[in-house]
Amino acid sequence: MPKRRSLRMLLFVAAAAVLVMSVRFGFADAWVDQYALPASSLSELAVVPPAIDAKSEPGPGPGPDAPQKPQAAVLSNRITEYHIAVSLDENSGTLQGEQIVTWKNPGRKLVSEMYLHLYPNAFSPGSTFLRESGGQLRGDKMKDGSYGGMELTALTTEEGETLLPRVHYAQPDDGNRTDRTLATFRLPEPVKPGESVTLRMKFTVQLPDVFARMGKTGNFVMAGQWFPKIPVYETAGTRGRSSEGWNLHQYHGDSEFYADFGIYSVRINVPDGYKVAATGFLTKTPAVTGGRKSFQFYADDVHDFAWSASPDFVYVEDSFSSPGIPGVRIKLYLDPLHQHLKDRYMHAAKSALAKLGQWYGEYPYSTLSVVIPPASGNGAGGMEYPTLVTGAAAQDDNPGYELERTLVHEIAHQYWYGLVASNEFEEAWLDEGFTSYTEDKLMSSIYGVLPNLPVEASYMTHPEPLNLSSWKFSSSDRYAENVYMRGKLVLSALERQVGDKTMSKIMRTYFQKHKFKHPSFQDFQKVVETVTKEKWDDFFRAYVQKGEMADFSVEAIQTRRTDNGYESIVLLRRSGGSPEPVSVWLQFQDGHSMRKIWDGVQTHVQLKLESASPLLYAAIDPGNHIVLDNRKINNYLKAEVPPQQRTRYTAGIAQIIEGLFGALAW
């Protein structure tokens, strides 16, 4: 018996040693380790690990502080694992934080150089972001002197070796030496393929007055891109890469973000009385000590973590499920001015999730939080983060459809930004264009509000390639026009050519095939070609790579009398875009009309017509089917008019004017 007890004790010690070593080396697939590192791993701001007890009693009912438990399913490659503790000083507008981050090398080469995005430094004097944006973004202006920034105060290895003296800043895009949004340092030992490195950091963030998705106004805080963040290490084949390496860019005036999927365990300490909305969900009931309140949040298979806090939030919650939406707690954090609009917000959120689940696939998370900033926090409005979105700021108590439009747009981002996770530095249209296209679908399906595509196409006066890096567009306006508007017009044009049913299959297939994968536009093109069983090189070359618009026109009409009546020659031209069939309407003086289809393959073609009555006019694409044709003025031409009096008219001008007034009514 004593020998058996000794053997059991040895086995127990061995098992415990294996468990400790697995935690140390960051084996994040173990369910328990997904929550948090041991409390002793952090100092006074330590992330306290939530209790994990499958037999524990149910927690409190639905409410802002009701905890949840994670599911065991692993959905992504989980390259990073963050354990963060942050404390808000509401008086100075600063964040004091520390984190333990583990990064796994997904490639086949040794990695010796590490990088960190220090995004809050975009709000420091001389940054590339401020130089390019001029301190303005989306109609919002940064207040004079309201600077922000991040200071990395400690950086050590797991063994305690300091790396802070090795840190220097990198400016790979523009060489701006005053920009400090990207930092690099050399590791003491390289990270082997498939192995991990764990780093400890302390940092301080000075929040600016709310601007460009981040900051503080009054007692409202929006913390987006607020912690030191590891960039994406792309393996060979990712987005067409021939060799593996870091994808490195600064924070630019028009660019958004790109990161790897991972696990986040985040403790947020705020004054008692504050409500906190955050990515993921609470894992334990918040603790109150000394007038402060600590929230423990957890999220997995996400590529970012954001949070917002205010004592003024009006909280509303409801549960929702539908096909593709297995069960989601929808959590509204409303500005008091909009508390009477809770039903509109909840209806929009539920309806958007239901449609997205039906059209594209399952929403895999258990929460969706909606934050409505105050009027003074407009710069925090209309932004997407994993499982958390911000609506338009509460600037009046009776908003029009912009309330719903903004919210469904941001919820659609949960699929294209959150789950597919394109590179927003280099191919922003794969997020914004796809989301704008989906936004139109949602507004049409839920509210009957239809887009006016001919009017929107007419706004496109400076088309540029969609696969440009965000900061390489000629201006912020051109970036917005192309990435948001022309991006969605390209998808609408594709839909017109393949039909609604096939387009739905394309979008669903693309989402299902590339969720959690960081695809490129070439990946989307391959899906289009697989579904349609056709080649689409001309289409993607013209509209994505070259930045063209379509231009189908009636170039000239010659009519002469013959022995049998009249002969007319109509010259049709395609001056831009890719080949596609287009309708031609021919109207004769005696009331007779004729419709022909031109395949659009050649750049120009002549139609020879013989008729008993003279040709009155010719119109190409009279039904405005060619979505990307932004020069409708040359689609119509009258015959037999002296050259000096020849006038071109816009086809369907009445519909366009009506649509313009309709757009103003949105």
Question: Which residue numbers belong to the known binding site for Zn(2+)?
Answer: 409, 413, 432
- DSSP assignment of 620-642 equals ESTT---TTB--GGGSEEESS--
Give the start-end residues of each E strand in 437-577. Answer: 552-562, 565-574
Of 410, 426, 427, 439, which is the active-site residue? 410
Contact present, 263 and 230 (Cβ < 8 Å):
no
Q: Which amino acid is at 205?
A: V
Dig out the tokens for 574 from the structure.
């395609």
Dig out the tokens for 117 from the structure.
């995005």
Dig out the tokens for 559 from the structure.
């009519």
**Separation of alpha carbons 121 and 123, rounded Å:** 5
**Separation of alpha carbons 627 and 623, rounded Å:** 10
- With 0-12 / 13-18 / 19 or more C-beta atoms within 10 angstroms meaning exposed / middle / buried, residue 448 is exposed
**Separation of alpha carbons 313 and 583, rounded Å:** 55
Question: Is 161 among the catalytic positions?
Answer: no
- DSSP assignment of 406-438 equals HHHHHHHHIIIIIII---TTT-THHHHHHHHHH
- With 0-12 / 13-18 / 19 or more C-beta atoms within 10 angstroms meaning exposed / middle / buried, residue 388 is buried
Question: Is 484 among the catalytic positions?
Answer: yes
Assign 585 to helix, strand or coil: strand
Give the relative orientation of helices 521-532 and 429-447 as an angle to the nearest 10 degrees: 50
Residue 376's contacts (CB-CB under 8 Å, 6 or more residues apart) are 210, 217, 218, 220, 393
Could you give phi then psi for residue 47, rounded to 5 degrees? -75, 110
Of 258, 298, 437, 484, which is the active-site residue? 484
Give the relative orientation of helices 342-359 and 429-447 as an angle to the nearest 10 degrees: 110
Tell how far CA 72 is from the center of its chain: 26
Start-to-end CA span in the chain (Å):
82
Dihedral, CA atoms, 384, 388, 393, 397, nearest 10 degrees? Answer: 130
Contact present, 175 and 250 (Cβ < 8 Å):
no
**Feature table: binding site:** 409, 413, 432
| Order of strands across the sheet that contains 565-574 | 552-562, 565-574, 604-611
Residue 24's contacts (CB-CB under 8 Å, 6 or more residues apart) are 158
Catalytic residues: 410, 484
